Structure 1
């Protein structure tokens, strides 16, 4: 009997459940599982639904979950065919709207808007359905700022970790993270302060909802870290599962470490010669640099820090220079170095005979030039830029006026740039004067003024006489004397010319200067004429020339 009763009850329940499903139907809601947006931009959260039975009084409502596990709070709603409205008194009031397609739009999104949103659809007899979407808000943090501590230098080999630097990045969302680098290699993230290298991080959530991240790096550096470069990077997320980075500027550490060896070097790049300034530098491979002592051939000399400077050195500054340093953190180290300084020199040039030489025209003259130097050297004679001899002997077999003047003997050390010495001698060639070949004077017509120049060699300087005379001036051009005369080209001058006479204690010379009419040229289309007339010692010649030429005709196709 009990079994029959139980069976009837079970059948009744099954029939009732089937009847409820037929009457109520189902509501299916679809939303995007996640919506990503940048801070300050607008976010759109779509919502669509389907119902198993039609309903004329469907209502769509959007809710937020302020905190996980707390009661939902409605922020906007809209009925089918009705007008969308937003609720008052929420964090989204004034920034949220619901469209005809039930999409929820949030303007000027803030980090605090990163919440779970629920789209709930109530469809009368069909029932109620909902679905959740997560709004993710992103904002790129500022470039990280890396600073060194203001404390003194770090000593290598200490058993306590020292602060290397602090990295700070501001205004990021979601929370970014800081990665430390040494020499472009990432350092493992270690927070255990018992380790030699570790980081102390801190996170501050600002009132804006953005994050400020700080990380301080501690290390026990060794001497190998003296030139290491440190840098921090902020790693942050952006929409589309992007992971981006921003790098800080780099820093180095001021590391103290003991010296193990010393280096003593000459900073001059060229061989040292007398008159040079010399700088020698002594340094160790430690930090900071210790005090240095300098000696020359055992005698103490004064330096400046690690520099030993010698002004305008002489050959007596040759010798062995020694640098010595003492590092109290490593007293067993041999911190010394030596330099053997060689100061090159060349003695003053000795010319024999040293006095100015005076010879007669055509005579022979000879000089010898010698010097000594610290290295292989050369001796050569030159006049102006012309090299005349390279063996120290200058011999002139036939003295002429153009060989008079200054001669220079130059000694040089080719292996030492700029190391030279020189001496000069002067040669005077005496003899009777000699006039250069005269040039013809030209005038436009008889009676015009004409200017003539008479150039003569001779020593002593010759005296000039013009016949006929005129307005005269005298100048010296190198080894010659030039007399310039200006006079009227009279008929007599045109006929007989003008005579220049020169004389000194050794003799005389004279030359006649011709005076002629300038050439007159008459050009026409196909021919030209010119005439030339001059008079020499009573004989007048008139030359008339007719130049005929044909113009070659060219044709072009």
Structure 2
């Protein structure tokens, strides 16, 4: 077919080829102007007198068409039949026939007459027409499984030569086997135009697998390319061979859900009514294929069935499992306990499958629940227990409060970084949060409270040595502790303390103690020298070696200053 198409293309490009009998053949298009060449354009010998075109009539007799004198520009048409108004001659002496039709399929002869010779060149003309697109007519409404049925008739109109039709299923050609596939083709001609009509009837034995098969008809022609019909599909009728029950519900099925049972059969047309077996009870539904269970419970777990109305043996079963989860937590809500007491926590669960348990405290996940055998302040918080199975989750909680009377854990002091203040820190435990009261006034109070631990800070500027008390109270009791604070003015006289609780403070204390001993020794030496001088040479037997009352008073004052 490709060679024919190439030949046609060559014709359209005004190419001409020779036949084996020295009669050229040219192909023209139906309805178009046909150009018949005269010796491929080599037709003007020396001494040319005229060129004449003639043809062979239907009865075999010759007929004249036109004559072109060498000395004249116009040709003289001599035809008296239908060619009279359709023929003319080109500059290269080719015969031009307008509105080509099948009547033009004949032999035309170009006669070239010169002073010395007369030559004739015969050309056979063939006229081709591409068929209209094929159409499938008289289609079957449905096909029956295993039964030979006429599927349809394919028709390709108005072609020359006649088109060749091919039936195809899913793009694969169907071959007539005389049994399951029978193809009958016929060609008829239009008496007015002579164009051919090709028809092809397909008898086909369908199977269930042909439900989605596509059938087309392809028209093959020398004018190419192939043309195809619109694809056709056909319903296939076959009896039910299998019933299928489906559970239409989100998975998993939970208590309270609505569950729809859907029964389907593979027959075509499909059955529209079914019997449902609802845990031993037969329920018939008509003109539909579903049955709905509303508000399903765990007691509805079991095997369900559906079957055809007229055939209970052809049935399908499905197991319906209803998921459930029951959870009980002790305690719940707000729980108040005293410091050191015991708290017992119990969790009971009943589930359709193994449940997963997780605990969290104040939105932080716990690896396990703490030991509540002896409660501490840090045990207080909101505990949430999440219990879950696939599709179901339960959350229970209790909020634990641990109370206890206040107790001061430490009371410390330190010098500020700039050395101008003393910062007192009182740390206490208790719940509810203890209130604090200092025995002196201060500034820049700082307070923090977490897990029952409170920290209170007070900044003071002691102008003299003080004893400062920290008092903490809540509804369950109170506690108090004292601390000595030295005057900043006296501390300036000694080496600055870098840390009153560190090594520097220890050095200061040791220095003060040693200084007091040295001062006492010095006072004693001075006193001894003084007595010796005042009493030198006046010792008496039995006299007490004591000083005067003024001397004793001065000695006591010096001792007191050394202590401070």
TM range (shorter): 0.5 to 0.7
**Match in the other structure for 2:392:** 419
Cα distance change of structure 1 residues 382 and 491 upon mapping to structure 2, 3 Å threshold = closer
Equivalent position to 1:430, from 392, 403, 411:
403
After superposition, what is the alpha-carbon deviation per residue over 1:210-239, rounded to whole angstroms, capped at 9, x for unaligned? 77766554445454544433222121222x
Tell me whether 1:506 sits opposite 2:454 in the alignment. Answer: no
Larger mean Cα displacement after TM superposition, 367-376 or 123-132: 123-132
Q: In 2, Cα distance between the equivalents of 1:244 and 1:64? A: 33
**Helix, strand or coil at the partner of 2:336:** strand
Which residue of structure 2 lines up, in the alignment, with residue 316 of structure 1? 299
Q: Is 1:431–1:458's contact at 8 Å kept on the other side of the alignment? A: yes
In 2, are the aligned partners of 1:84 and 1:99 still within 8 Å (CA)? Answer: no
Name the count of aligned residue pairs: 450
Contact 1:85 1:97 in 2 (8 A): yes
Q: Which residue of structure 1 aligns with residue 275 of structure 2?
A: 293
Contact 2:28 2:34 in 1 (8 A): no
Equivalent residues in 2 for 1:114-513, closer than 5 Å: 115-123=105-113, 126-127=117-118, 129-139=120-130, 141-142=132-133, 144-146=134-136, 149=139, 152-156=141-145, 161-162=149-150, 164-167=151-154, 174-188=161-175, 197-199=182-184, 215=200, 217-219=202-204, 221-223=206-208, 225-238=210-223, 244-266=225-247, 270-290=251-271, 291-301=273-283, 305-326=288-309, 334-346=313-325, 348-354=326-332, 356-383=334-361, 384-389=363-368, 395-397=371-373, 399-413=375-389, 417-431=390-404, 459-460=431-432, 503-506=473-476
Aligned-pair CA distance for 1:254: 1.3
**TM-score normalised to structure 1 length:** 0.61
Distance 1:400 1:245 in 2: 92
**Within 2, Cα distance between the matches of 1:309 and 1:180?**
48
Answer whether contact 1:111 1:210 (CA < 8 A) is retained.
no
- TM-score normalised according to structure 2 size: 0.60
Structure 2, unmatched stretches of 5+, are 1-20, 411-425, 463-468, 481-486, 497-564
Report the Cα offset of residue 367 of structure 1. Answer: 0.8
CA distance 1:355–1:203, change in 2 (3 Å): same
Q: Secondary structure at the match of 1:59?
A: strand
CA distance, structure 1, for counterparts of residue 197 and residue 329 of structure 2 = 86
Deviations 1:480-530 (A, max 9, x none): 9999xxxxx9999xxxxxx999753135799xxxxxxxxxxxxxxxxxxxx
Distance 1:293 1:408, change over 3 A: same
Task: Tell me how far 1:131 sits from its aligned partner.
Answer: 0.9
Farther-moved stretch of structure 1 (33-42 vs 132-141): 33-42
**Bigger proportion of residues as helix:** 2
**Using the alignment, how far apart are the partners of 1:196 and 1:418 within structure 2?**
55
The 1:188/1:425 distance shift into structure 2, 3 A limit, reads same
Residue 460 of structure 1, CA deviation: 3.4
Secondary structure at 1:253 match in 2: coil
Q: 1:59 matched to which residue of 2? A: 50
CA distance in 2, matches of 1:61, 1:118: 11
CA distance in 2, matches of 1:366, 1:427: 12
Contact preservation (8 Å) 2:237, 2:268 = yes
1:78 to 63, 68, 91: 68
- Structure whose CA Rg is larger: 2
1:140-177, CA deviations, whole angstroms, 9 ceiling, x for partnerless residues? 744x455784x754444667x34x34545567654423
Pairwise CA distance, 1:424: 1.4
Asked if 1 retains the 8 angstrom alpha-carbon contact of 2:442 and 2:460, the reply is no
User: Structure 1 113/400 Cα, relative in aligned 2: closer, same or farther at 3 Å?
Assistant: farther
Per the TM alignment, residue 86 of structure 1 is displaced from its structure 2 partner at its CA by 6.9
Query: Residues of 2 paired with 1:482 and 1:38: CA distance?
Result: 109
Distance 1:38 1:508 in 2: 121
Give distance in 2, aligned partners of 1:507 and 1:408.
Answer: 32
SS in structure 2 of the partner of residue 371 of structure 1 = strand
CA distance in 2, matches of 1:318, 1:310: 12
- How far off its partner does 1:299 sit? 0.9
CA contact (8 A) 1:111 1:173 kept: no
Kept in 2: contact 1:182–1:231 (CA 8 A): yes
Q: Secondary structure at the match of 2:299?
A: helix
CA distance in 1, matches of 2:454, 2:380: 17
